[in-house]
């Protein structure tokens, strides 16, 4: 399957010398590193950030502190990072949708120009879900159901420009179906309505949806991701169902302020890539349905720019604004 989001490539690990050693400056790091993320405790970013914590502390010799700051569509967390010194002690762990933030809302910063790529943690997956009593068990069957019930079905929209919004909107255009967007402030409240049968479709992060699918409270009709999962038997990927062109996967990049010194970026990138090669980290990420994807800072920057262009075109094509599609 062609990886459409932030393609992996072999990386060259930067030397594990302390940043600043060559210039005589105080070696980096010399105090704890705070990693701010725009999501809640227990969420995907929180799990990903904590998965590498032990190895990062071992490699860097300082605590790797995860600081969840949800709210304001990521603007609050991003401002905290940009308002801190560009010294490598305040970093930003976010999702790939960050690259189109300025297309969807007014923000007091440039999501691309004001941040510097450091490392990629991985790519997470999602599940296209319907209520358990839905007659649809595949994407094609949901499309047929929508065609038979024009204007009667709806879907969970956890935020404009997210995969949960873009995938159903692309289905509408591709197949000419009429389904209604129901907006929520994030996934959790929308998932409750999907569980209650008040919604007909939702694209949900696998780590959030899997337990409900296994318990029979939701039915998964497709994996938005690179592969099928052994613990979710029979659920084919979007690509396997002929819908690879509709996929919007979510990656997890680590960023810093734009003026972060290259030596510090290299130090952090090397430590992250070593962490991603650790079997314990692999297991922790796998438990959250995250596939590790090591990259160099240059590769990450190029991938972010590609995704900025691709998602930007899609958002324009769909006519999506901050107020809705």
Lowest mean pLDDT among 245-249, 273-277, 305-309: 245-249
Rounded Cα distance between 194 and 200, Å, is: 7
Q: At what angle do helices 206-214 and 187-195 cross, to 10 degrees?
A: 20
Res 264 pLDDT > 50:
yes
Rounded Cα distance between 271 and 293, Å, is: 14
Fold of 33-124+251-318: D-Maltodextrin-Binding Protein; domain 2 (3.40.190)
Tell me what percent of the chain is helix, strand and coil, each rounded to the nearest 5: 40, 20, 40
Distances 216 to 60, 135, 195 between C-alpha atoms, Å: 44, 14, 10
All CATH 3.40.190.10 domain ranges in the chain, comma separated:
126-246
DSSP per-residue string spanning 249-302: -EEEEEEEETT--HHHHHHHHHHHHHHHT-HHHHHHHHHTTEEE----HHHHHH
User: Do residues 233 and 152 lie in contact, with contact meaning Cβ atoms separated by under 8 Å?
Assistant: no
Provide the pairing of β-strand 33-37 with 64-68: parallel
15 pLDDT tier (thresholds 50, 70, 90)? very low
Computed over every residue of the chain, the mean pLDDT equals 89
pLDDT in tens, 67-92: 999 888 789 999 999 999 999 999 99
Q: Which of 47, 98, 58 minimizes the C-alpha distance to 255? A: 98
Mean pLDDT of 296-308: 95
Res 24 pLDDT > 50:
no
pLDDT of residue 14: 37
Rounded Cα distance between 297 and 261, Å, is: 12
**Token pair of 298, please?**
């240059």
Strand partners, 257: 115
User: Do residues 179 and 148 lie in contact, with contact meaning Cβ atoms separated by under 8 Å?
Assistant: no
- Domain over 126-246 is classified CATH 3.90.180.10: no
All CATH 3.40.190.150 domain ranges in the chain, comma separated:
33-124+251-318
Distances 185 to 156, 157, 189, 190 between C-alpha atoms, Å: 10, 9, 7, 8
Res 4 pLDDT > 90:
no
pLDDT of residue 54: 96
CB contact set of 205 (below 8 Å; sequence gap of 6+): 44, 124, 125, 126, 127, 187, 250, 289
> In what order do the strands lie in the sheet containing 126-130?
202-205, 126-130, 219-224
Strand partners, 182: 156
25 pLDDT tier (thresholds 50, 70, 90)? low
pLDDT of residue 238: 95
Rounded Cα distance between 306 and 207, Å, is: 26
pLDDT in tens, 86-142: 999 999 999 988 898 888 888 899 999 999 999 999 999 999 999 999 999 999 999
Res 5 pLDDT > 70:
no
């Amino acid at each position: 399957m062609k990886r459409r989001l932030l393609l992996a490539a072999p990386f060259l690990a930067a030397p594990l010398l302390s940043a600043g050693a060559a210039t005589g400056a105080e070696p980096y790091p010399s105090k704890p590193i705070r990693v701010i993320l725009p999501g809640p405790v227990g969420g995907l970013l929180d799990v990903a950030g904590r998965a590498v914590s032990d190895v990062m502390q071992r490699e860097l010799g300082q605590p790797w502190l995860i600081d969840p700051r949800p709210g304001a569509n990521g603007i609050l967390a991003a401002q905290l990072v940009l308002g801190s010194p560009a010294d490598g002690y305040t970093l930003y762990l976010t999702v790939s949708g960050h690259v189109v933030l300025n297309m969807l809302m007014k923000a007091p910063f440039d999501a691309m120009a004001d941040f510097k790529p450091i490392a990629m943690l991985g790519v997470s997956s999602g599940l296209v879900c319907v209520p358990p009593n839905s007659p649809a068990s595949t994407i094609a069957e949901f499309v047929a159901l929508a065609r038979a019930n024009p204007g009667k079905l709806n879907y969970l929209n956890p935020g404009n420009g997210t995969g949960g919004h873009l995938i159903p909107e692309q289905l509408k255009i591709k197949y000419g179906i009429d389904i209604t967007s129901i907006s929520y402030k994030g996934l959790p409240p929308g998932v409750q309505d999907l569980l209650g049968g008040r919604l007909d479709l939702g694209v949900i992060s696998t780590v959030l949806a899997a337990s409900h699918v296994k318990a029979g409270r939701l039915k998964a009709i497709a994996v938005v991701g690179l592969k099928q999962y052994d613990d979710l038997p029979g659920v084919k990927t979007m690509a396997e169902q002929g819908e690879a062109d509709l996929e919007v996967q979510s990656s997890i990049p680590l960023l810093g302020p734009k003026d972060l010194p290259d030596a510090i970026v290299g130090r952090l990138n090397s430590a992250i890539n070593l962490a991603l090669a650790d079997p314990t980290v692999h297991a922790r990420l796998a438990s959250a349905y995250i596939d590790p994807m090591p990259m160099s800072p240059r590769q990450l920057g190029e991938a972010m720019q590609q995704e900025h262009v691709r998602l930007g075109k899609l958002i324009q094509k769909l006519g999506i604004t901050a107020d809705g599609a």
